[in-house]
Chain A
Amino acid sequence: SQTIHQWPATLVQPVGSPLSLECTVEGTSNPNLYWYRQAAGRGLQLLFYSVGIGQISSEVPQNLSASRPQDRQFILSSKKLLLSDSGFYLCAWGQGPGANVLTFGAGSRLTVL
């Protein structure tokens, strides 16, 4: 069966510090991978998606970047965090063309102080 792991679950970072959130998927190959951010009272905002190794599409200009160094690994990064980067970050995977059914990770709660 497929599983998705996301870490860390919670982190508190000072403004200007770097960020690295990791996501891995097991039990499938060549998944579509996604990073979403969820702010309080707002819908999930798609940040990045990837259909293959090294292929990253950005949905919104921002202080973040994503990388896919391996087929089932997706990393969200920032060189210098802003207060506005605080939020709940969710990794998800789906199979096939388009999004199809997405399976989400447990999320990473980021607080920037």
Chain B
Amino acid sequence: AQSVSQHNHHVILSEAASLELGCNYSYGGTVNLFWYVQYPGQHLQLLLKYFSGDPLVKGIKGFEAEFIKSKFSFNLRKPSVQWSDTAEYFCAVNAGYGGSQGNLIFGKGTKLSVKP
């Protein structure tokens, strides 16, 4: 069965620090990869996604992620975080094919707190 692991439960950074959140998945076939963000009191929003092509993908608000197939990883990065990046971040995967390919498998999430 597919699974997603997020290594950090809670990350605390000061503004302007660099961010890297780890995500590993287990699935042998073609996958689509996503990072979702949930700001306090708001719904889940898509931050970025990878389907194919360039393994370095750029998303909104200066975030980027790199897909490394050999490591089954899709880590999220931002060179300089802001207080407004305080949120919970979820890595997710779905199958690239099949009848239920739209079903997302989520990691447990990483809570990011940015100190002003």
Question: Do A and B bind?
Answer: no
